[in-house]
Chain A
Amino acid sequence: MTKLKKFGSKFLEALGQPLVAVLLSLLIGAVIIGLSGKDILSSYAIMFKGAFGDGYYLSATLQRSTAIIMGGLAVCIAWRSGYESMGGEGQMIFGALLSALIAYYMPGPGIAKILVGILGAALVGAVYSILSGWLWEKFSVTFIISTLMMNYIANYIASYLTTYKVKDPQSRDINSIQTGKLIEEARFGKVSGLFQSDGLKETALGQYFKDFSVHWGFFFAIACAVLVYILLRKTKFGYQSKMNGLNSRFALYGGINARGMLYLVMILSGIAAGLGGAFEVFGSKYRYIDQMIFSTGYAWSGMVGALLANFDPFGTVLACILLAGLSTGGSAMQRSAGIPVETVNMLEGIIMLLMSVKLLHLIVIRRKVSREDRLKHEAELENGKEAEAK
């Protein structure tokens, strides 16, 4: 019984807060939809159907979640170690751009293009991330200033390069600012490709999976989550980084090489974010399109996901899929109910705001504490009276 109770309270602690946050934000979203004169229930029904309604939509959601998961993992690694880096966006932009360029310009077979592209993306993400770590270590420029500024800088530089230097040579349209499209061999295959072999193509299974857009990048992202889990939970580094996040002075006292820790954490989180950009290029867009990371806010959604999961890698994956569902559902809502997809941004903001405070603690524990306080106070009064009487 006590075991069950313990499990229950653990469950409540891990899932209660995110659930309350998501539900409350949906409630506030309902108010906003209601105020703009649309039908709340049908809008949400469309949203849910457009996100998880059937296999097709679900696969679109999973496709979208790939980059978000990687952004979330980057946040997991960095924030858990006490470095509140928000540079995932900039790292993702450079990762996407570089991998698109490598895969487009490098000669060789498709698989080599993909591998070198991924390597390049990881490298450039790590380097850009190290830069903000260096700014912190050498010049104590806080992460919020350095990383946010670097996000803007990355976006403008990528925009400059795609406009003037590496623009798609085949494109005649002046307005499409993008790099050249990757050849078929240099893309991640669709998962539906499994069922498109000659034997399976005509069967029901083949037909069902035909239009599914989820690609192998999603499974790579899951694999990355497993790696991050092992790294954070099963290795010395994971323990040290957690200690560093909880109390950096204590960690220092315990003999942690703070400098090495900082750079290692920055490298790992940079790699994760950079890979996110590469997966988006190889899996979905097949090129770098100007503003493609900046305007979609993948890195930010990833941060919200990591917060929802309290920086647990597997939780982050689930939360990121949920958030990706919100935005694919949001697009569906925009198409058929005329509600702008930006509503989803608002909902994410509200979720974040609610996750910033310990909601359950506020409601449950505060009441408990105040009751205990009162009892204690009363007891003291009693004692005082007794003392006086004596």
Chain B
Amino acid sequence: MNISVNYLASVFNSTLRYMTPLLLVTLCAGVCSKARVFNIGLEGTLLMSAFFAFLTQYFTRNIFLAVFVGMITGMVVTFVIAFFIVKLNGEPMIVGMAINKFAQGLTTFLLQMIFHTKGTVSDTSMKGLTKIAIPGIKDIPVLGTMFGNLTVVDYFAFVLAIVMFIIMYRTVIGFRIRCLGINPEAASSLGVRVPRYQIIATTLSGSMIGLAGCLLSLGSVTMFMQNISAARGYVAIAANNLCFGHPLGALASSALFGFTTALAQVLQNSALKQQLLQCIPYISTILAMMVFNFANAKKKQK
């Protein structure tokens, strides 16, 4: 019995670890969707910030600088996306896919130019994000496993979800962002400079993708590999759809997808082969969207 409790605790732990990057990206997706910037370049943004955070840490060995660079990368890329969509009137779908494609090319290009490899880069002497062990909990058997191996940023992600809720639903700024998403003309007639607001809001929220990128390459493992983001950016769009861009709802929806990813990890020793297990997060994303939209449509009919 004790073993199975421990087992569940470790599932809980990996759910937490898979969920936090997704949560951060979903929060950013939430701001983007509220501000009516249809951003599907999240995937590429995540990939690039993971890479540049890793690169900075590799060369400077300064974790603060690495996180900072990661966040700046996230903001710069999101700014480019927002600028192309809002100011230049670009087709959002194409802008996003272009960024994703560019990110894929850039990271593999630099990987090869700097590390002379195409696959994975890791350096055992490199330190990742600081891991936090809560003093009281650390020594309790089950709770210790449940909350072990989590970094500062993991905890910060949960705090951020609450902070984002307060910003979006309890401040004037958040009210304006939501307004301009619902009715840009009305917002503009009230004196909100719509394009500027859209760009600034999304750009700032891009820093959260930067943090998520740091979690990927400097989190529980310190390494970078080709396509480390593994479609998390796309899953985040789905997660954001599930919670209608509500920051607290993002907690639930990213937990759902974090769990399915953890499930793929946990079942590794079972009869199912690895390639099939890797499908689980993607299949569950489609399934979740199906169930959710179906239930919603039913509700509307009533």
Contacts and interface: CB of A to CB of B under 8 A. Distances in A.
A342 B97 contact: no
Interface residues of A, number: 46
**A32, A145, A343: which has the most chain B beta carbons within 10 Å?**
A145
A327 B179 CA distance: 46
A304 B101 CA distance: 10
Given A157-B279, A356-B90, A356-B94, A146 B286 contact: yes
Given A342-B108, A350-B102, A156 B286 contact: no
B105 A349 contact: yes
A388 B109 CA distance: 67
Given A86-B97, A353-B99, A159 B275 contact: yes
Interface string B58-74: 00000000000000000
Overall SS of chain B's interface:
helix
Contact of A362 (B88, B105, B113, B275): B88
A340 B91 CA distance: 30
Nearest to A352: B98
B40 interface: yes
Nearest to A290: B275
B234 A357 contact: no
Interface in A293-310: 300, 303-304, 307
Given A345-B101, A352-B98, A139 B275 contact: no
Given A139-B294, A352-B94, A340 B109 contact: yes
Interface in B90-139: 90-91, 93-95, 97-106, 108-109, 112-113
A189 B214 CA distance: 51
A153 interface: yes
B265 interface: no
Contacts of A342: 104-106, 108-109, 112
B274 to A, nearest CB: 8
Contact of B282 (A152, A300, A357): A152
A144 B237 contact: yes
A101 interface: no
A377 to B, nearest CB: 20
Interface string B274-285: 011011001101
B289 A148 contact: no
B238 interface: yes
Interface string A141-159: 1101110111011001101
Interface string A332-351: 00000000101111111111
B289 A141 contact: yes
Contacts of A250: none
A164 B90 CA distance: 45
Q: Say which size band chain B's interface belongs to.
A: 35 or more
A345 B104 contact: yes
Nearest to B95: A356
Contacts of A196: none
A135 interface: yes
A148 to B, nearest CB: 5
B268 interface: no
Given A145-B237, A353-B84, A157 B101 contact: no
Contacts of B3: none
B102 A353 contact: yes
B105 A156 contact: no
Given A139-B293, A149-B283, A345-B105, A357 B275 contact: no
B98 A350 contact: yes
B108 A345 contact: yes
A141 B91 contact: no
A163 interface: yes
B183 interface: no
6 contacts: A135-B289, A139-B294, A145-B289, A146-B289, A349-B100, A356-B95
Interface of A: 32, 36, 84, 86, 135, 138-142, 144-146, 148-150, 152-153, 156-157, 159-160, 163-164, 300, 303-304, 307, 340, 342-353, 355-358, 362
Interface of B: 40, 84, 88-91, 93-95, 97-106, 108-109, 112-113, 231, 234, 237-238, 241, 273, 275-276, 278-279, 282-283, 285-286, 289-290, 293-294, 297
Given A139-B290, A145-B241, 20 more contacts: A135-B289, A140-B297, A144-B237, A148-B231, A149-B231, A153-B282, A160-B273, A160-B276, A164-B273, A345-B102, A345-B108, A348-B101, A349-B102, A352-B98, A353-B84, A355-B94, A356-B84, A356-B90, A356-B91, A356-B94
